[in-house]
Amino acid sequence: MFGARTLRGVLPGGQRAVLVFGIGLAVIASLVVAGAAGASTGTVSPDPNESVSEEAYVEPAPEPGDAYFEAAADDGSWISYENPRDEYRSPYLGDGSGKVCVTLVNENGDPVVGESVPNTSVTIPTNDVTSWHSHADPLTVQFPLTDHYERPLDADQFGTDPDIAQGDGYMDSHCIELHGLPEDATVEYGKADVSGEYADRIDVAGYIQQVPEGDGWDTDIDPVAAAEPYADAGGGWTYRNGSTHGQVDVILQLDAPADERFDPNGSSASDSGSSDQSTDATDGDDSGGNGDDTGGNASDEDDSMPGFGALAAVLALSIAVLARSRGDP
- For 266-323, give the DSSP string: SSBSS-HHHHHHHHHHHHTSTTHHHHHHHHHHHHHHHHHSTTHHHHHHHHHHHHHHHH
Q: For the chain, give every domain's residue range.
A: 1-53+320-329, 69-255
Q: Rounded mean pLDDT of 3-22?
A: 46
pLDDT at 75: 83
Supply the mean pLDDT for the chain.
77
Q: Please state, for a pLDDT cut of 90, what percent of the chain lies above it.
A: 55
Give how far Cα 200 sits from Cα of 122, 249, 256, Å: 12, 21, 8
Pairing, β 174-181 against β 86-88: parallel
pLDDT at 218: 85
**Residue 189 clears pLDDT 50, i.e. is over it:** yes
Q: Is the peptide bond before 138 cis (omega within 30 degrees of 0)?
A: yes
Residue spans of alpha helices (H) in the chain: 4-10, 13-42, 145-148, 223-226, 230-233, 272-283, 288-304, 308-327
Q: Is 97 exposed, middle or buried (0-12, 13-18, 19+ CB in 10 A)?
A: buried
pLDDT at 180: 97
Residues 6+ apart with CB under 8 A from 318: 20, 21, 23, 24, 25, 27, 28
pLDDT at 30: 46
pLDDT at 216: 61
Q: Rounded mean pLDDT of 39-53?
A: 50
Cβ burial 136-145 (10 Å sphere, 16+ → b, else e): bebbebbbbb
- Is the whole model's pTM more than 0.85, yes or no? no
